[in-house]
Amino acid sequence: MIRGVLLAASRSARARELVVATGPTRRVVDRFVAGERPADALDVVRGLAADGIAATVDRLGESGVDLASARESTDGYLALLDLAEDVGLAAGLDVSVKLSALGRLVPYGGLKICYENAAEICARAAEVGATVTVDAEEHTSVDAGLAVLADLRRDFPATGAVLQSYLRRTENDCRRLAGAGSRVRLCKGAYRAAGDVAFTRRADVDASYARCLGVLMTGEGYPMVATHDPRMLALAGRLADARDRDRDDFEYQLLHGVRPHEQLRLASLGAQVRVYLPYGPDWYPYLLRRMAERPANLALFLRALRTR
Ligand code: FDA
């Protein structure tokens, strides 16, 4: 119930105005968001690299329905990649993009626009030795997202997909995307949908995650295991062992600010670990989705509002 309210609030302009005006302290935003500027994000990337942890950087902003905001978002990613190259952090860096931020929702031609913008980012990423992963959004956008991804992968085969285990279709999507050269991030899904398309009970989402993980680990692609769930992290390790996957044949991905000790522990065991690092002033919907995932995060947020 709370989860549903928070996810609805993450899409509500009125709720956004109220929360931003009340203003949680910087402390709570900073826990999950790397700062406002590309330089802030790259400072965190440098710190992670010192601990043997890679990053995928997300420029926050996902509701643009006009050409200008799609352009601004694209330019923001290009500037980030330029700066990463200048400061020697581009090689091995990944950027996570949301097609909605790149123009998917622009009326008339939105898909073409987001494809062109994403291709521009992929081209710059390839020049500097970085990669791009296309985030998954609401279930209604999955077909469009996978179609754009297939187009991108023709010219930029390293472009990564994201699949969400809460959707009933995802096990099949895993089968289709588990081929050689394919990078697939598996997450549970930060959105909600009705029972005809989605699993609505946590246990079913988890069981689906385990099945999807099995498919990806058995395939020939590069699985990116995006979860903080200790059972799923352990399962990924066991499946990798059983399938004779080397440590650099898959990676764990966790969110910035979530289970930092576990991130370090996995890296210290020699596993590939990548942290999802959002930055930018438009932190509101991202933060609300993190609150929806975990009551403890919500408590932190409410305390921060009260103590202002
Ligand atoms: P879940 O929320 O079910 O938690 C399971 C267990 O994990 C908990 O019981 C606890 O033990 C542990 N745990 C979780 N959070 C914790 C915390 N804050 N502190 C301590 N323990 C904690 N979603 C999406 O829809 N599209 C996308 O593109 C992405 N991309 C993405 C990238 C990466 C790298 C990650 C890690 C996640 C995403 N997500 C996402 C979000 C994802 O779908 C999901 O909402 C969150 O990861 C939460 O789900 P968990 O798998 O962590 O398990």
Residues 91 and 129 in one domain: yes
Average pLDDT over residues 166-174: 98
226 CA distance to ligand 1 middle (Å): 7
Residues 179 and 306 in one domain: no
Residues 139 and 288 in one domain: no
Residues 108 and 201 in one domain: yes
> Is 155 marked active-site?
no
Q: Judging by DSSP bridges, how do beta strands 94-97 and 131-134 pair with one another?
A: parallel
Residues 102 and 120 in one domain: yes
pLDDT over 70 (residue 19): no
End-to-end Cα separation, the chain, in angstroms: 27
pLDDT over 60 (residue 83): yes
In the block, residue with structure tokens 């969400």: 164
Count of the separate structural domains present in the chain:
2
Instruction: Give the pLDDT confidence of 208-260 residue by residue, as tens digits.
Output: 999 999 999 999 999 999 999 999 999 999 999 999 999 999 999 999 999 99
Average pLDDT over residues 116-145: 97
The Cα 282–Cα 211 span in angstroms is 35
* Ligand 1, atom nearest to 275 Cα: 34
ipTM of the complex in this document: 0.97
Q: With a 6 A CB cut-off, is 136 part of the ligand 1 pocket?
A: yes
Element (H, E) at 269: none
Residues 19 and 106 in one domain: no
Confidence of residue 25 (pLDDT cuts 50, 70, 90): low
Tokens of residue 88, six digits: 């020697």
Q: State yes or no: 228 annotated in a binding site.
A: yes
The Cα 287–Cα 289 span in angstroms is 5
* Ligand 1, atom nearest to 274 Cα: 34
The Cα 65–Cα 286 span in angstroms is 18
Residues 264 and 302 in one domain: no
* Ligand 1, atom nearest to 229 Cα: 7
Domain membership of residue 298 as a residue range: 1-33+283-308
pTM of the predicted protein model: 0.91
Residues 303 and 193 in one domain: no
Q: With a 6 A CB cut-off, is 253 part of the ligand 1 pocket?
A: yes
pLDDT over 60 (residue 307): no
According to the model, what pLDDT value does residue 308 have? Answer: 40
Q: State yes or no: 263 annotated in a binding site.
A: no
The one catalytic residue in 94, 135, 173, 206 is 135
Confidence of residue 289 (pLDDT cuts 50, 70, 90): confident
- Residue 223 C-alpha from the chain's centroid: 14
Residues 29 and 77 in one domain: no
- Give the ranges where the chain is alpha helix by DSSP (H): 2-10, 13-22, 26-32, 38-50, 67-86, 110-128, 142-155, 170-177, 202-218, 230-242, 260-268, 284-293, 295-306
Q: With a 6 A CB cut-off, is 219 part of the ligand 1 pocket?
A: no
User: What CATH number is associated with residue 86?
Assistant: 3.20.20.220
Q: What is the CA radius of gyration of the chain?
A: 18
Output the average pLDDT for the chain: 90
Question: Which of 15-19, 191-195, 212-216 holds the top average pLDDT?
Answer: 212-216
Q: State yes or no: 227 annotated in a binding site.
A: yes
Residues 222 and 289 in one domain: no
Residues 6 and 55 in one domain: no
Instruction: Give the pLDDT confidence of 97-115 residue by residue, as tens digits.
Output: 999 999 999 999 999 999 9
Residues 252 and 304 in one domain: no
Q: With a 6 A CB cut-off, is 262 part of the ligand 1 pocket?
A: no
Confidence of residue 30 (pLDDT cuts 50, 70, 90): confident
